Amino acid sequence: MNLIEELKNADPKTPGSWPWLVKITAFVSLFLMTVAGGAVLDWQGEWDNLKAVREQETKLRESYLAKKREAINLDIIKKQLIDTQQSFGALLKQLPSKSEMDALLTDINQAGLGRGLQFELFKPGAEVATGVFTEQPISIKVSGNYDDLGKFSSDISQLPRIVTLNDISIVPDSKTGGLAMDAIAKTYRYLDEEELAAQKRAAKAADNKAGKK
């Protein structure tokens, strides 16, 4: 009789009468089940710890990738900032300082005279502060032929310093038989450190005065 038949014939109510082979099989099965159950109960905490560690690993990996992307973007932003500063520096060099304004006004005047134009008006206006820059308007009226007026406008745009022509009006000039051009030439300069400091003091004084009211 083999083990399978002995297991079928074994009466569960009388385990003492079981054949030795059935008893040994039952004992081994119970032992293995007990060990397996104890292992599961004993290792449950370790399984929970392992799960928590894996979740933490996933979060750390995601955090690392996010910071890596931020670092890459930061490098790009730094490069853009450097490029912007360089461009700003190049533009700033096109603005005259306070000591160079007189020379620039002379250049504008010479540009007209060099084209044979007659100046009927060349009147610098008051400077207007706009942040760290000032705007210098110059009212001009010149007369000449069409080509010379066009060349004068082109010469103004090609000056090494920034000068723009605004509010241009060209009408026939009855005195010369040519054309007369009225315009507002505007140039800009940056404030020096002393002027910026004075501007800040004035703004602070205005704030203090407003606060006392």
Query: 166 by DSSP, 3-state: which?
Result: strand
* Pair 112, 152: CB distance under 8 Å: yes
The answer to whether residue 207 is domain-embedded is no
Among residues 35, 62, 93, the one where a domain terminates is 93
Amino acid, single-letter form, for residue 32: L
Q: Which domain holds residue 45?
A: 1-93
**Same domain, yes or no, for 108 and 192?**
yes
**Same domain, yes or no, for 64 and 126?**
no
**Same domain, yes or no, for 102 and 174?**
yes
Domain count, the chain: 2
Q: What is the residue whose two structure tokens read 């009211």?
A: 213
Written as tens digits, the pLDDT of the chain (213 aa) is 455 565 555 555 665 565 666 567 766 676 677 766 666 666 666 667 777 777 888 888 888 778 777 777 777 777 777 766 666 556 556 566 666 778 888 888 899 999 999 999 999 888 887 777 788 899 999 999 999 999 999 998 888 888 889 999 999 988 878 899 999 998 887 776 776 677 677 777 776 666 665
